[in-house]
Structure 1
């Protein structure tokens, strides 16, 4: 099975509605564990945006973000036999990427030489946990969006993808007037908020 050898700024424009389901992650994890190279490549492709977004939120540059990306997936490859649940995979990756990002930041700043090791570890664990919570929240929003009706799902995915697409292009793609985007977005966001409330997202 090929490892992740290099990174060329993974594209983050995957719409929220295209995020892999738990069952899909479980299937790819099991096949990757069995040595299926195609499944491993698919797993990396589907989760690369999540992993790459972590070092970018820490404002690491392209090269360092690429190092975090590669190190994180290499760690996943080494630990495939230890991971049983596809549902837990995004959280595991987010935590691993956060810790690697923090490690690189500390190496660059060189501010930890006088700090006790146990304090560094405790702080990194706390920061990694906070990053994981943010990733979990994003994942829950993506999955709620998957359950929405087609028009709302497509509109919100287009508006909040990583690509800065002009309203005119979105309107043309969805076959709706530009002036209808704002009111439709408001209604769709209200529906999404109610869906998340019913799942205890804001509790």
Structure 2
């Protein structure tokens, strides 16, 4: 019966779901459940093709009326720190920990990291000009300073995953 009615149920469900906001797979599954319930209670329908067409229409109508009654949950609150006091406190604590670690960094690293964390988001050219170094040496120096900062923060922050690059 499944082999014989499968293509018909799929085609009817796809055709009925196309015009509505109903998923054809869900509609098809509802029809199969309804057929199993019928087989258990009354036996197979005499006109299986007609029964499938009617069942698909009925299930689509039910799905439409259900979608009109159901209302989705409201969207999650904004992800910004102002949306949640806990999140704002955590963000502020992370910033304080980062600024404290930058303040403890050695001289050149402290100057570079402070320049990189500036609120006006300077470019590499601006940072290099401010520090009086060449723009080409800024990348390697940044890498060394970030490694130093990682080591300093390792005791304050949870260890990275075992497959991470830094340990």
TM-score of the two chains, using structure 2 as the length reference? 0.44
Q: Higher relative contact order by CA 8 Å / sep ≥ 6: 1 or 2? A: 1
TM-score using structure 1 length: 0.37
Larger Rg: 2
